[in-house]
Amino acid sequence: MLEGSDVSVAILNRGCITQDWQVPLRGARVPVVLGYVDPADYAHNPRSLGIIAGRVANRISGAGFMLGGQRYDLPANEAPNHIHGGPEGLHARLWEMEGDGPRAVRLTLVSPHGEGGYPGRLDLTVTIRLEGDALIYDMHAVSDRPTLLNLAQHSYYSLGADTCRDFHVTLPASRYTPNDRAKIPTGGTAPVTGRPFDFRTGRSIAEADPDGRGLDMNFVLDERHARVTGNGLVLEIETDQPCLQLYTGQHLNPLHSPLPGQRHAPFAGLCLEPQGYPNAVNTPGFPCPLVTPDQPYHQRMTVRIYEEDAT
């Protein structure tokens, strides 16, 4: 448990999961990410609540890729494609965890060569720090040979509300990656101009998704930040990643007992996942998320959540 003066965050060693985040709102404290009461329930977490997704977040078409002249086959856990590192990805592993004072925790994991079908031994470190109203995720990894790595933090932000449909999102992204019906990029990017999901000047999820089908799409960031307001709270993200996946939680269901005051129903939380380009290894023109002994991995993400009228 990370604790500040009026904020607390619960981190689990299974999958580096952010289980709970409590912030002040109208004189009380409310949970602002969706979570399960019982940590054991995360052993069956098909909607990826709170995880660090990887080795490669998002989808890999055909559940495989070529690297260095060799084909690597991966579990087709969203057949015929692969998603979020597969059923035994980093989210399913028990990491070593140690505290670093009351406001920081360091999680480490060795992922052996061949795990989940991926080449290379990875030595991973994720440090999570609470600084005032900000939660900072520092993710590092080194590999003993060329491999792929594209991590994404996968919390569902509820901001203490029942639905994210009313959330107002501002996202400085003039382009997105069009997908096919299986949510695999078709190649290249396209402008958001004239589309209902043009969030550059801000709009609600309901405005961006008027038919209520939900959004699950990758935006290419012009500036490396995003802002959401809802239920009297403000969420701000800063990232060093080129893209951000926005998912409106339309497939959520009440699988396990939720944290008090929550309901896990469609649109109960909004995912904002900084990441590299999806399916880049199989998409010509997208920068491949390659990690080598000479090119270690680093991602830093800062999320602030605070009361809208706070000064």
Phi-psi region of 282 (alpha: psi -120 to 50; beta: other; left: phi over 0): alpha
Return the DSSP state at 190.
E
Q: Which of 156, 145, 143, 168 is nearest to 259 (CA)?
A: 156
**Positions marked active-site:** 154, 273
Residue 80, in any domain of the structure? yes
Residue 224, in any domain of the structure? no
Residue 13, in any domain of the structure? yes
pLDDT digits (tens, 9 = 90+) for 257-266: 999 989 999 9
Q: Which residue has the tokens 């290249």?
A: 188
The CATH number of the domain holding residue 139 is 2.70.98.10
* CA–CA dist 262, 160 (Å, integer): 8
* CA–CA dist 120, 123 (Å, integer): 10
Answer yes or no: are the C-beta atoms of 192 and 170 closer than 8 Å: no
Q: What is the pLDDT of residue 310?
A: 61
Domain span including residue 134: 2-163+255-307
Residue 260, in any domain of the structure? yes
The structural domain count of the chain equals 1
Low-confidence residues of the chain, pLDDT below 50?
A: none
Q: What is the pLDDT of residue 40?
A: 97
Residue 241, in any domain of the structure? no
pTM strictly above 0.85:
yes
Q: What is the pLDDT of residue 86?
A: 97
Rounded to the nearest angstrom, the gap between the alpha carbon of residue 154 and the centroid of all alpha carbons in its chain is 3
Residue 272, in any domain of the structure? yes
Q: What is the pLDDT of residue 5?
A: 84
